[in-house]
Amino acid sequence: MEKPNITIEYFNTRVIYVRFKGSYVAFRKNGRKLFNQLFSFATEHNLVIPGETKVLTIYHDNPFITDAENLRTSVAMTIPNDVEINEIEEINVMTIEGKFGVGHFEISAMEYEAAWQYMYHEWLYKGSEKPRDSFPFELYVSEPPKRLKDKSFTDIFIPIE
Amino acid sequence: MNFDDYTRLINKTEDYIEINLGKQITLSDAAKNVNFSEYHFHRLFSKYSNETLKQFITRIKMERSAIYLATYSKISITEIAYKYGYNSSSSYNKAFKKHFGMSPTEFRKEQERKRNNK
C-alpha cells in the first residue's frame, strides 16, 4: 500500500443511512443488501446527483472495546442540505459535522485494514493531532472495483480536535 | 408500529446520545427527541431491545469514555467523569467497574502496558 496524502478538513454534510448491528463479519455478509436498500431509496426519491453523491461506511464503535454483537456500522449516502426526507423503512437522516484528518488512499479491497492501521497507528498516534470523540468513516471517492485485487480511491476520515 | 419503525426509533435515539454524551440523558429527553410519550417509548425500547434505555446509555458512555481515558492519559478521571455526564468521579468509577470489571485507573494502566509491549 502506498502512503496516502493526508489533509485536514472540516466536514458538514447530511446523509441518509441504514444501520447494522452485529460483528464486522456479519456486516460484510449483509453489506450489499444494505447498500442496495440505500440506493433503492435514494433512486426512488431522486437523491442521487451524478458526480456529486458519495457513499460512506461509518464505524460507530471501537471493535477493541465493544462486544462484536453490539458493533454498529452504517452505510450512508450524502444528500443535499435542503432536501426534505420522509424517513421510511429503515432509512434515517443525520448530519456529520466536525474536523477530520483525511487519508486519501488508492487501495484494493484487501488493503482496507492496512489503511486503517496506518491512519491510527502511524498518523494519529505518532503525530500532533488529537483524536476527537466521534466516529470515523470511509468515503468512496470512486466506484468500488469489480475484482478484489483492483484498486479504487477511498478517503478515510478520522475525527480530530 | 413495525420492526422498521422500531429500527428508526433506535437509530434516532443512538444519534441523540452521540451528540449528547456529556449530558445526563433521561428517559424524558430520549422520548421527547422522537416525539413519543415516556411510557410509549419505554415500552417499545424494552420490547425490541435486550437492554433497557438506561443500560444502553450507560454502555455507550462507558465504552466511549474508556477509549477517551486510554487516549488521553494525562486527563484526570474526575474530568472524564464530568465529560461523560457523571456528577462525581465515584459514580463514574462505580459504573465503569461494573461494566469492565476494573476501575478506570486500572483500565488506563492496562492499556498503557499493552501499548508499551507492542
The better pLDDT of the pair A100, A50 is held by A100
CB pairs under 8 A between A and B: 36
Give Cα B1 distance to the centre of its chain: 26
Smallest CA–CA distance, residue B8 to chain A, in Å, is 6
In which domain, by residue range, is B84 found? 3-117
Ranking A3-12, A83-92, A150-159, B13-22 by mean pLDDT, the lowest is: A83-92
Q: Which DSSP string do the residues of B60-94 spell out, in sequence order?
A: HHHHHHHHHHHH-TTS-HHHHHHHTT-SSHHHHHH
Of A19, A65, A87, the CB nearest to B66: A65
Residue B32 sits at φ, ψ, to 5 deg, of: -60, -35
- CATH code of A5-159, in short, is 3.20.80.10
Which amino acid is residue A114, in one-letter code?
A: A
Which among A74, A122, A133 is the top mutation candidate for probing chain B, defined by the most B β-carbons within 10 Å of its own β-carbon?
A133
B7 contacts on A by Cβ (under 8 Å): 19, 90
pLDDT tens, N- to C-terminus, chain B (118 residues): 666 777 888 889 999 998 898 888 999 999 999 888 999 888 888 887 888 889 999 999 999 999 999 888 889 999 999 999 999 999 999 999 999 999 999 999 998 888 777 6
Which residues contact residue B14 at a Cβ distance below 8 angstroms, ignoring those fewer than 6 apart? A19, A60, A72, B60
Q: In chain B, how many domains are there? A: 1
**CATH code for position B79:** 1.10.10.60
Query: Which tens digit of pLDDT belongs to each residue from A111-137?
Result: 999 999 999 999 998 899 999 999 999
Q: Which residues of A touch B72 (CB under 8 A)?
A: 130
Helix (H, G, I), strand (E, B) or coil at B39: helix
**A134 contacts B7? CB cut-off 8 A:** no
Answer whether B12 touches A (CB < 8 Å). yes
The half-sphere exposure of B64 on its side-chain side, counting CA atoms within 13 A, is 23
> Helical H runs in chain A?
24-44, 112-117
What per-residue confidence (pLDDT) applies to B50?
80
In the numeric block, which cell numbers belong to residue A96? 456529520
Nearest CA in chain A to B8: A90
Cβ–Cβ gap A90/B66 under 8 Å? no
